[in-house]
Chain A
């Protein structure tokens, strides 16, 4: 375990080293500043509250879109996996939405709904729902028929069945959907902010892109990457460990 952590640490230090070498070779701070050159402006943004405000805005949008996409995807996936008739009807829609570029959905949402929060979150959610649905459907198709029969004969109430029989079987699929979901969603949120919001990391990146300020683009992007890593380590991974406990016990 410590050996694995050590490798991770050295690997990241290697990446940092590569950056320093590249920055030294470029020798132009307006194109690629060294990591050290970012520390000062970073602290300044942090103290002014600007960085935290925009991080919060983006995080809020990520949470909304994540919860909505997982909720809708879970319900649709379960329905489609359990009822072949529903699957036959909805599958073509799924294929259409899976192949719709994120950008098209974002632009259409803004055009139809307006440049507002609803359109932004809806656009991100719609981009992620088909993915979650596909994964959950796969899980729902692999339910153990004997457990279904058991629950039926013993007349377990629907809510107990869902919580203690079905969802635990889906856990690996939910975890996979959540993991890939969170990774994709925050990137789409940035695009949505870039195109039509006046707050958030994406908005700041848009602003500094227009000013050709590589330094600030890097500061905002890296800050949010760190936030997402913290979410992964402090929420997602412990949850996964907890639901997997019975496998390793």
Chain B
């Protein structure tokens, strides 16, 4: 299986710049959290990592994003990355517009305003993020992610703790933006429906230390 994956990777790498993850081990102290995890994401492809809470999804995501570099293995990622966290994680002390232009210095004010318009918060450019509703703050976080035209987009449970209607709106917006920008997308969730909605290739994390479950799993197999 490993050999096949490597072969496929070599072929795909010729055609696209891609994200290549090959983790052999990640531990906190003496407690191993992640075992062998290897997969690839092509440009324009969406991969969802599914698994129950506490399995190590966020740990894996932090390794792939380059936030945490203490692990055994190797990860290849492009320079232009974007991330969307569970929380909006905005600069609350800078205006909505500055939240885009400070993070993306090359972004013109005109382009930033167009991006705000695209996510539906056009009139809020001069406000502080704290003056927006939580739903609007998340839209701003999404605008920030896509404004830099990322080659690789990482999302950590971006639709969690939203009411169904807002979550649906966010999903539709994310779907449209992904279709437009076409980054390689990795997102972590515990809701299979979200993954299916974004037409993601689903990878499941299971066990301790967590590893990718074989690809063909049916619901019945799972405990």
**Chain A residues near B (Cβ < 8 Å):** 144, 146-147, 149-150, 152-157, 160, 164-165, 168, 171, 243, 245-247, 249
Contact between chains at A168 and B67 (CB < 8 Å): no
Interchain CB contact (< 8 A) of B85 among A150, A155, A171, A245: A150
Q: Who on chain B is nearest to A153 by CB? A: B83
Q: How many A-B residue pairs have CB under 8 A?
A: 60
Contact between chains at B93 and A168 (CB < 8 Å): yes
What are 16 A-to-B residue pairs whose CB atoms are below 8 Å?
A146-B85, A146-B87, A147-B91, A149-B67, A149-B89, A150-B103, A152-B66, A153-B67, A153-B82, A154-B82, A154-B104, A156-B102, A157-B105, A168-B94, A246-B128, A249-B130
Q: Who on chain B is nearest to A148 by CB? A: B67
Contact between chains at B130 and A155 (CB < 8 Å): no
B74 within 8 A of partner (CB): no
Interchain CB contact (< 8 A) of A153 among B81, B93, B105, B128: B81
Given contacts A156-B103, A164-B94, contact A249 B127 (CB under 8 A): yes
Contact between chains at B67 and A152 (CB < 8 Å): yes
Chain B: residues with Cβ within 8 Å of the partner, total of 27
CB neighbours (8 Å) of A249 from chain B are 127-128, 130-131
CB neighbours (8 Å) of B67 from chain A are 149, 152-153
Given contacts A149-B83, A153-B81, A154-B83, contact A164 B89 (CB under 8 A): no
Given contacts A150-B83, A153-B83, contact A246 B66 (CB under 8 A): no
CB neighbours (8 Å) of A149 from chain B are 62, 65, 67, 83, 85, 89
B158 within 8 A of partner (CB): no
Chain B proximity of A43: nearest CB distance (Å): 46
Q: Who on chain A is nearest to B65 by CB? A: A153
B56 within 8 A of partner (CB): no
B154 within 8 A of partner (CB): yes
Q: Who on chain A is nearest to B95 by CB? A: A246
A168 to B128, CA, bound (A): 14
A249 to B66, CA, bound (A): 35
CB neighbours (8 Å) of B98 from chain A are 164
Interchain CB contact (< 8 A) of B89 among A146, A157, A247: A146
Task: Using A160-B102, A164-B91 as known contacts, list a sample of 19 further A-B pairs with CB atoms less than 8 Å apart, ordered by residue number in A.
Answer: A144-B89, A146-B89, A149-B65, A149-B83, A150-B103, A153-B65, A153-B83, A153-B154, A154-B82, A154-B103, A155-B81, A156-B102, A157-B105, A160-B105, A168-B93, A246-B92, A246-B94, A249-B130, A249-B131
B79 within 8 A of partner (CB): yes
User: For residues 68 through 92 of chain B, which have their beta carbon under 8 Å from a beta carbon of chain A?
Assistant: 79, 81-83, 85, 87, 89, 91-92
B183 within 8 A of partner (CB): no
CB neighbours (8 Å) of B102 from chain A are 156, 160, 164
Q: Who on chain A is nearest to B145 by CB? A: A154
A149, A160, A165: most-surrounded residue (chain B CB, <10 A): A149
A246 to B94, CA, bound (A): 8
CB neighbours (8 Å) of A152 from chain B are 66-67
CB neighbours (8 Å) of A164 from chain B are 91, 94, 98, 102
CB neighbours (8 Å) of B51 from chain A are none
Q: Who on chain A is nearest to B154 by CB? A: A153
A152, A164, A245, A246: most-surrounded residue (chain B CB, <10 A): A246
CB neighbours (8 Å) of B62 from chain A are 149
